[in-house]
Amino acid sequence: MLGRVLLWASESARLQRFISRSRVSQPVVKRFVAGDRLEDALTAIRELNGLGIGGILDLLGEGVTDPAGAQAAADEYLTSIQRLPEEGLDTTISVKPTQLGLAFDLDACLAHLRRLAAAARDANTTLEIDIEQVEYVGDTVTLFRRLREDYDDVRLALQTYLRRTPEDLNAMADLKPKVRLVKGAYSEAPEVAFQSRREIDAQYRVLTDWLFDHGSDPGIATHDDRLIEHAKRAAERSGVGKAGFEFQMLYGIRRDLQEALVAEGYRVRVYVPFGSAWYPYLMRRMAERPANLRFFMRALVGA
């Protein structure tokens, strides 16, 4: 229930204005977001690289409603990607399609994505595509297929709470897709998404197996110990082994686990968001864990 309210709050423009302006929310933002500037994210990734952990660079922003906004986001991504070779960091780039105009112009969004995928290739890294609310999933899958015609190392995130995901995966089996498997972070209706942890986790296990058998370089993006253990077994059973897949986690969550997996010889990558448009991202992190919310509310009321 609380999670649903928070997910509603994540899409409220009024609350966004109020909370984004409140300076006291900064300590909470700092836990989950590397900072406002690209430099902050590069510093965080450098530190992760020092621990043997890769980065996933993410410029915060989503739900862009006009071409100029999409162009500005694409330009900022491009500048960020072009910085990477001189920094010599191990990081991929991740982008939300609605940040690049998916909601109003699919062709323009594809053109932006192509530009970013090409720049990523030139910078010796790869592009990842986040997955958003269910109304954008069909178009995002279409974009992925189109991008794959020229860029076979692009990774697509898919959500195990969605009932449609097995069908999406089966339909792209010919691509041997490179997928980041996540539980799903938005509020979706029971008609389209499983609501219980038991069903979401069960589908996570099934789709993990699918990726080890039919995908390429699976990205197991979870902090859930039981699902991580399942992925380790799937890697062994399928013969993919430790080098053939990666665990992915979020900045500010379970650093202990990230380091433990590296020590066991697994590949680990951490999603590092930066920028000023942190509000919806932060609210989704609150919704995942009520304990975060108590910390946040205390900061907000100055207690």
Supply angle C-alpha 302, 7, 281, rounded to 5: 70
Q: Should residue 283 be labelled a site residue for ligand FDA when binding is judged by CB under 6 A?
A: no
Quote the DSSP letter at residue 99. G
Distance CA 286, CA 280 (A): 10
Neighbours of 79 (CB within 10 A): 12
Shortest distance in whole angstroms from residue 1 CB to ligand FDA: 16
Helix (H, G, I), strand (E, B), or coil: what is residue 217?
Answer: coil
Of 248, 272, 273, 280, the one binding ligand FDA by CB under 6 A: 248
| Residue among 182, 207, 268, 282 that touches ligand FDA (CB under 6 A) | 182
Report the C-alpha gap between 303 and 299 in whole angstroms.
6
The two structure tokens encoding residue 59: 């410029």
- Structural element, H or E, at residue 54: strand 54-59
CB of 257 to ligand FDA, least distance (A): 8
Alpha carbon distance 103, 122 (integer Å) = 28
Stretch that binds ligand FDA, among 9-17, 79-87, 183-191, 234-242 (CB under 6 A): 183-191
Instruction: Choose, by CB under 6 A, the member of 163, 289, 295, 299 that binds ligand FDA.
Output: 289
CB of 222 vs ligand FDA, minimal distance in Å? 3
- Which amino acid belongs to residue 57? L
CB 65 within 8 A of CB 102: no
Q: What residue type is 274 in one-letter code?
A: F
Closer to ligand FDA by CB, 115 or 223: give it: 223
Query: Under the criterion CB under 6 A, does residue 74 sit at the interface with ligand FDA?
Result: no
Based on the shown chain and the rule CB under 6 A, indicate whether residue 249 belongs to the binding site for ligand FDA. Answer: yes
Binding to ligand FDA by CB under 6 A, coded x per residue (else -) over 147-176, reads ----------x-x-----------------
Comparing CB distances to ligand FDA, the nearer of 153 and 224 is 224
Classify residue 69 by burial, with Cβ atoms within 10 Å: 0-12, 13-18, 19+: middle
The footprint of ligand FDA on residues 27-66 (CB under 6 A) is none
Residues in contact with ligand FDA, shown as a per-residue x/- string from 206 to 245 under the rule CB under 6 A: ---------------xxxx---------------------
Position 181 contacts ligand FDA (CB under 6 A) = no
Q: Count the neighbouring beta carbons within 10 Å of the beta carbon of residue 72.
A: 14
Could you tell me the CA-to-CA distances from 147 to 4, 80, 105, 136, 194 in Å, in that order? Answer: 34, 20, 16, 16, 29
Provide the mask over 261-280, with x wherever binding to ligand FDA is found by CB under 6 A and - wherever it is not: ----------x---------
Bridge partner list, 20: none
Tell me which of 178, 230, 267, 285 binds ligand FDA, using CB under 6 A.
Answer: 285
Gyration radius of the chain's alpha carbons? 18
Q: Which of 78, 145, 288, 299 touches ligand FDA (CB under 6 A)?
A: 288
Binding residues for ligand FDA (CB under 6 A): 130-131, 157, 159, 180, 182-186, 221-224, 248-250, 253-254, 271, 285, 288-289, 292
